[in-house]
Every structure is written in C-alpha cells, then in structure tokens.
Structure 1
C-alpha cells in the first residue's frame, strides 16, 4: 500500500513537473532567441542566482523538508485543529521574517552583487544593471516562501499535483513579459525580472483555492511550540538541502572571471540536467517524505526500510536513461532547443561541453535528495549537514583547481564530483543509522538499469548520426524536433523491453499495477 502511495504521488509530481519543465524550456528558448549567450544574459542569470539561492535556503528546500514531518506527526497525534494552528503560526513567521529579509535584500543589493559576481565590478554599466534586476526580483523570495508553506501543507495531506503544477505559472509569467512587454522597458532584460516576481506571486496564489478547500486558512497567529521544533530542523536543513544552489553560487562567482558567455553556458546546461533532477529526483524525494514520516510516527520500522529501498531503486530506474541520454545526445538536444537567433553554433558546442560534465553528477544529486529526505523523516538533520558541508568544500576546491585548465567545463565537473561525494557519504551514514537497509539489491537494480539504458541510448545516438549535418545549423527546427523525438522514443521502447528481459523488479511492479487497474 505504501509503495503504491509513493509511486502514485511521484507520478503526479512528475506529470506536473513535466508540464513546468516544458514551459521552462519554451521560456529558455525565448530567452536564448532574444538575448543569446551575451553579457546582457550573463547579467540576468547572475541576478537571478541571488533570489534563487535564497529560495532554496529559506523556502522550497528547507521549509518543506522541515514542515512535513512536524505537520504529519501533529496530524497523527494531535488532530487537524492543532495542525491548523501550526500552519497559521508559520504564515505569521514568514510574513515577518522573510518580509524583513526581502527589504534588506533590496537595500543591500549592491553589496550582494559585489559578493556573488565580483568580476562585474570593473564594468559599472553591467554592475548597475545586475543590481537593478536583483532589486526587482527580491520580492520573489517572499512569494515563493508562502508558496512553499502552502505546498508543504498540501503534501502533508497527500496532495501533490496542484503544488507541483504551480511553478508552471512562473514560466508563463516570464514568457508573457518577454514577448509582450520587453519593448516597454529601457532595457528589454528588465521585463524578465518583472516576470520572475509576478510569477512567484502566481505560484503561491494558484495553490490557495486547494489550500482553503482542504480546511486550511492563512491568518495571524501567536507563536506555536511546534515552530521551535521546525526551526531546529530548518537551520541544518537549510544548509543540506541548498547544497546544489550553493555549489551553483560558487560556480557563478568563479565564472564571472571567465570569458564572456561562460555563465550562460553553465545556466543552460544546468537547466537541462534539472529535467531528470526535477521530474524524477525531486518527485521521488517529495513523494517519499510524507510516507516515511508517517511510518516513523506509527513506529513501522520494517515497512520504513522496504519503502526506502524501493524508492531509491525506482528513482534510478527512472533517472539513469535520461542521464545517459543527456550525455550521449547533448549536441542534438542543445541545437534543437536553443540554437537560433543570437545563440549560435559556438554557444551550442560550449553548452554541450558543460552539459556532459554536469550530467555525471545527476545520479548523485537525485540519490542525495531521496536519502536526505529519509534522514528528515526520522528528524535527523545533522548528518545531511556534514555531507553537504563536505560536498560544498569539494566543489570549491575542484572548481579552483580546474577553472584555468578547463574553464566553464571544470566548474561543471566540480559540481558533479561534489554531488557524487555527497551521495556516497549519505549512503554510508544511512546504512550506519539503519543497518537493516540492504544496498545489494539497490546495486543490482542500478546495474540492470544502466545496461539497458546504455544500449537503448546508443541506438538513439546512431539514429541522430544518420544525418550529422542537421545538428550543425540553426534552421529546420521542426524537422530536428521530430527527428530527436523519434530517436528518444525508440530508446525508451528498447529500454523498457530490455528491462523486461532483465526481469527488472521496478518495471515488474509498474506492470503489475497496470494489470490490476486494467
């Protein structure tokens, strides 16, 4: 029953996240067409790093992970009325604390930009524009924090689709402001920043009808004792859950000293690896946290162990083929999605190089999310902090070591090395914490997925290489979409067939569920 709940929740989140990613790539294609890989695009991506980092630190990452176990425990032990009091108290806290942080961020934006992009200081025009964009986007932090609270509350009630669909409205807002309003601003890039802030507000507001429908209300409430428990979880959770964004933050600082366009190459390649991370890694991590938290509250240790093992195997079954797909089909993918207008073949090649090295870290990143969620379900936030701190240190050291010899490629590789180190450390410590966990079955499942995916993606690569010149030019966009879609579809078909022949347990479980529903 619990496995079914995890799969169903992960499916709902993955479907909604897919819609959001599709809109995100449409947004990125429009950004690439309008602004290319130039100094002006670097300015926006650096400015957006700041509210995006704070979003991970104070909103989606830490808040959801700390709130869900506490709310689930309150529901089981104290009932819905007491849980409602906690939610109102959290709303009051966010409005006050995050509101103050937002105001301070707007005031001290020049100092923040100096810290995150010191290489921009020598160019006053570039620096001033980055400060302006940062100020416009800082309110995004408050809206996204309220959206995260709403999402965590709904997830606790096993409602996943609407919260996961909400980010679509961020992408929609940005697209509308670029296409419809960019000509109204003295610098067109300002329209993107305005779209980010408006989209953040929409991301919160679209969840509120479901929030109220399920018996919750926003309102001012006094300090609740559960807030202290959440705060104790949030502080270390903030560090651990935000490790990916902090690693990107470090990369941005170093990339500001590299040749123009480096920040943009890293941004677009990072956007691509966010596809499997978002659709599968985040989905499974979000789906498993309420279920494992419930097992802990009810004292069901055996079911807890089985569901953790299943979640990790299921995650790798989904993620490995997309990881190898990004690595082996990198040029056709980037050419199809981004190469048009100002984004030329040079930008495609440089972005593809970054994508290759970023992709190495996908497995570590998604695996870390699920294991980290497992630690949070047992309300252990110290161990993920140790692993995250080690990963961040690894990223800094490897980035500095490789920045001169490999430039932006070295920064992407450093991210992957750090993600892999974090994953293996988390795996080691969760095994020590819960000795009943067996990694033998996880490794066996991983190898089956890898073999099946490698053969399948190799076939897709051969299909793309039938017409190699197609991926060198900017035109024939529709033909390239069709060609690439066919290659990926063939790979997906062979992957499922090979997994079936290899008697893959996770595929067998999915087929069994389909037969029962049929």
Structure 2
C-alpha cells in the first residue's frame, strides 16, 4: 500500500472515529437520562422490547456498515460518475421505502400477537399482561422506525460513496438528543411515571425522523431523479444487483439480530428489569466497540472492494491483518479496564434516580460475561466485510443461520441447566461470537487462500499480556487509591477521579509494554498524536 493511501486511510479513520465517538457519547448521555428516569423497571423493559422490533432495526440495518449501506456502496461506487447514478439512487429509495413500509404496517397491526411470543414475561398473569400492553402500545408508536431505517441506510451509503462522513456518523446523535428531551418531560412522581412510557416511544420516533432528515444533503450528492426512470416497469442494472445483494446481506445481519430475540425471550422469564440490565451492559460495551468498528469498517469497505475488483488479493490479506491488529490493539485495553473495575464504572455512569444499587449489580454481572466477546466480535465483523467485498453475502448468512440453533441451545443450557441467570444469557453471546468467527475464518481461507494468521500470533500474544497487566494494575490501583479519594469527595467527582487515575495508569502500563514488545501499532499511534 502506498504512503499516500496509508495517510488517506488514517485520516479517514481518525475523522470517522472522532465523529462516531461524539455520537456514541451523546448516546451514553441518552442512556443515563433513560435509566435515571425509569431504572430497570417494567416500563424500561417494555421500551427495550419495543426497541427490539424497531430501534434495533434502525441501528443494525440503517446505520453505517449495515446491509442497506453496504449494498448501496457496492453498486454506487463504480457508477458514481456516470449518468445513471441519479436514476439508480431514486429507484433504490423507492424500492426500499416500499419493502420497509410494508413491514412497518405489518408490525403495527400484529403487535399484540407478536409481543407475548417474544417476551413471555415472569410473575403472575397480571404482571405479564401489564408488560405486554405497555410494550404493544410503545411498539405501535415506534413502528415507522422500520421504514425510516431503510431510507437512512441508503443515505449513509450515498454519503459514503461520495466521501461524506459527517452526518452518517453524527446522525444517531440526533436521535439520542430527542430521547434526552423526552426524558426531561417524565413526571418524577412514581405513580405517574409508570404511565409515561409513551414519552420514550415518541422520543424515539421523532429522533428517527431527525436522523433521516440530516441524511438529505448526502443523498443529494447523487442527484436522485425520476427523469428517464421507469420505477416499476424496468429495473436499473444497479438496482437488480442491489436487491440481489440486499436480501442475503439483510438476512445475514438479521441472524445476529435474531440472537437478540433469543436473549429477550430468556431475559423476560427472569426478574423484572433483566432485559434492561442486559441492554444497558451491552450498550456500555458497544460504546468503545462501536467507535472502533464504525471508524474502521466505513473507510475500509471501499478499499477491500477495490482490491478485490483489481485482483490484488495479497494486498487484501495484508490490509486485513493490519486492520485486525489495529482493532485489537485499541480494543484490548478497553476490555481490560471494563473487566478490572466494572462496578465502579456502572455506578459512576448510571447509579442515580431510579437506577439503584440493585440495578448496578444487575448490569455488572452482565458486563463480566459480555466483555470477553469484544476480541472476537471485532474480528468477526471485519472478516465479514471481506466477504461483502467479494459480493458474497451468502456465506455470512449461512454461518449465521447455522449459529441460531447453537445460540438457542447454549442460552438454554446456561440459563435453565447451569442456572447462571442473566449472566448465562450474556455468556451465550460471547460463546456464539467465537463460534461465528471460527466458521467465517475457515470459509474465508477457502475463498482467498491462507490468511497469514501465523503473522498475528506474536503481536496478539504481546497485546494480550499487556492487557492482562493493564487489568491487574487498574484493579490494584483503584483499590489502593479510591478509599482516600472517596473519603474527601464521595460524589461523582471523587468517583470519576478514582477511575480516571487507575484506568489512566493501567493504560500507560499497556502502552509501555506494547512499546517494549515493539508492537507496530504503537508507532502508528505516536505518529497520529504528533500530527
């Protein structure tokens, strides 16, 4: 890879990482307001169950890296300078709106029948019916999010094709701000609070509309037009290719999405608030993970696609290994810190208002089982993009399809047989991620030959050792310094300072060890900081 290309990729990575970080931190603020207002309660469970059908679709399918975005980039990139691009973009928008609109309508009318199947609930019939009614009410309000998800995905794809990254990266922040505003209207009185779940649903809907509106400048780059277009009578060549890629890519993404339904089913049969606890822990993990993956996958997908088109498979393998190393280099210390001091982190971020010590304990247990999956998760998502670059979305689909039954079996064993409760649900997620990565790596090797994985052993082993040192030192330093700091200031300032000191020193130990081990990524990081 030339120096100019490396610098270009690095700049794009940094820009997308910065924008995505800002958006993710606004999302964290949203979660803080939401948990403060409703804690881990029936209302928050209902909202998160409704989000499973709607908001999750917007995040997974409508965001950067989703099937609509990836398929759109694949068909528009080679045509972006041609006269057919405007017609193609318009036809993609129309067909996507029709497909997703029909699904939205179906969910609205079928909500009362779907909810009890996905969330059977726990306790007596009165408690379960309260949960079902609240979830159905919120789900119907939020059903248009399914339509919006497809259109947002197209907007992200068009913007990415024309190297526009600002609004695709920042758009989720618009939705988060709407949710924060909705939480400000929640009545603090407990009796009224249980009747105000609709505010969360309205906030989610308004936020999604805002997320779509900010995509319009990017969409206009392709100059979408109906001129010379026969929307239904004749499909543009790119539209046929788009639909051909979209179906298996959507199903492939849906496989991971279906795992959430398995988790929701088992979590709903546990204690009240279990589903919210699982969601909160997952979002905490997704904060660093989402930044890393989005920042890497957005600029790397067009590069993978171009290398495949030019037949430069050896360059593709080198790019894949370097990307994996960089992702692991950044993800491992974050994982180490989350494992070292999970309770203080959860307490600092969320324990206020309706989110009490019981809620903190609930989320902490999930974190301990979920964090180890980060290492495998980033590799799985990156390798999946290599298949997309080959216009092969069927392999990830078949791997994911095979994993559904395995996921169901593992979760049943963890929850019902080993009685691990909510921790068992989280552990099954980590185990199924390892299963998926193993199968994808096997099939990728069959597609492009040996991946050169042996070249990853030495740096990864060094990073794992440095991460272990980071975790142990962070835990020790927190136990050593926090009692003194919290004695002078037991509030948020004292908690934050204790964590920052321990995590900061732990992170420095990680970097120092990586430097001593001559990990290549440390030099990249130093160069970026100097610039």
With the shorter chain as reference, the TM-score category is: over 0.9
Q: Relative to structure 1, is the Cα distance of residues 507 and 216 closer, same or farther in structure 2, using a 3 angstrom cutoff?
A: farther
* Structure 2 partner of 1:487: 502
* Contact 1:57 1:238 (8 Å CA) reproduced: no
Gaps of 5+ in 2: none
Superposed displacement of residue 190, structure 1: 1.3
* Matching of residue 360 in structure 1 with residue 372 in structure 2: yes
Partner of 1:198: 206
- Of residues 52, 55, 63, the one that matches 1:52 is 55
Does 1:465 pair with 2:479?
yes
Task: Say if 1:289 and 1:373, in contact at 8 Å, map to a contact too.
Answer: yes
Could you report, residue by residue, the CA deviation over 1:377-412 in whole angstroms, capped at 9, with x for unpaired residues?
011112111221233222111101111310110000
Residues 293-350 of structure 1: CA deviation (Å, up to 9, x unaligned): 1222333333222212211111111111111221222111111111122222222122
Report SS of the residue matched to 1:118: coil
Q: With the length of structure 1 as denominator, give the TM-score of the two structures.
A: 0.92
Instruction: Name the structure 1 match of 2:295.
Output: 283
CA 225–88 in structure 1, closer or farther in 2 if over 3 Å, else same: same
Select the residue among 168, 178, 181 that pairs with 2:183.
Answer: 178
1:373 to partner: Cα distance: 0.7
User: What is the match of residue 319 of structure 1?
Assistant: 331
Partner residue of 1:209 out of 187, 208, 217: 217
- Quote the residue 2:315 is aligned against: 303
8 A Cα contact 1:51 1:137, kept in partner: yes
Measure the CA separation in 1 of the matches of 2:236 and 2:193: 45
Aligned to 2:146: 141
Q: Counterparts of 1:429-508 in structure 2 under 5 Å?
A: 429-466=443-480, 476-508=491-523
Whole-angstrom CA distance in 1 between matches of 2:466 and 2:131: 48
Confirm or deny: 8 A CA contact 1:460 1:487 kept in the other structure: yes
Label 1:245 to 1:486 Cα distance change in 2 as closer, same or farther (>3 A). Answer: farther
- Does the alignment pair 1:224 with 2:226? no
Provide the C-alpha distance between the structure 2 equivalents of 1:344 and 1:471, rounded to a whole number of angstroms.
Answer: 19
SS of corresponding position for 1:108: helix
Q: Confirm whether residue 7 of structure 1 aligns to residue 10 of structure 2.
A: yes
> In structure 2, how many angstroms separate the alpha carbons of the residues matched to 1:57 and 1:218?
28
Is contact 1:73–1:297 with CA below 8 Å preserved after alignment?
no
Distance in structure 2 (CA, Å) of the matches to 1:227 and 1:471? 60
Indicate the RMSD between aligned Cα atoms, in angstroms. 2.4
Distance 1:455 1:416, change over 3 A: same
1 CA distance for matches of 2:60 and 2:466? Answer: 37
The number of residue pairs the alignment matches comes to 511
* 1:358 CA displacement: 0.9
| Candidates 336, 342, 345, aligned match of 2:357 | 345
- Please say if residues 313 and 446 of structure 1, whose CA atoms lie closer than 8 Å, have aligned partners that are also in contact: yes
Partner of 2:480, secondary structure, is: coil
Determine if contact 2:45/2:275 at 8 Å carries over to the other structure: yes
Q: Which residue of 111, 117, 120 corresponds with 1:118?
A: 120
CA contact (8 A) 2:326 2:521 kept: yes
Q: Give the distance between the partners of 2:280 and 2:506, measured in 1 at CA.
A: 24
Alignment match, 1:263: 275
CA distance in 2, matches of 1:108, 1:471: 52
1:150–1:211 contact (8 Å) kept in structure 2: yes
Q: Report the alpha carbon displacement of residue 70 of structure 1 after superposing the two structures with TM.
A: 1.9
- Going from structure 1 to structure 2, the CA distance change for 1:306 and 1:489 (only over 3 Å counts) comes to same
Equivalent residues of 1:185, 1:191 under 8 A apart = no
- Which secondary structure state, in structure 1, belongs to the residue aligned with residue 83 of structure 2? helix
Displacement of 1:413 in angstroms is 0.2
Tell me, yes or no, if the aligned pair for 2:171 and 2:211 is still in contact at 8 Å: yes
The SS at the match of 2:196 is coil
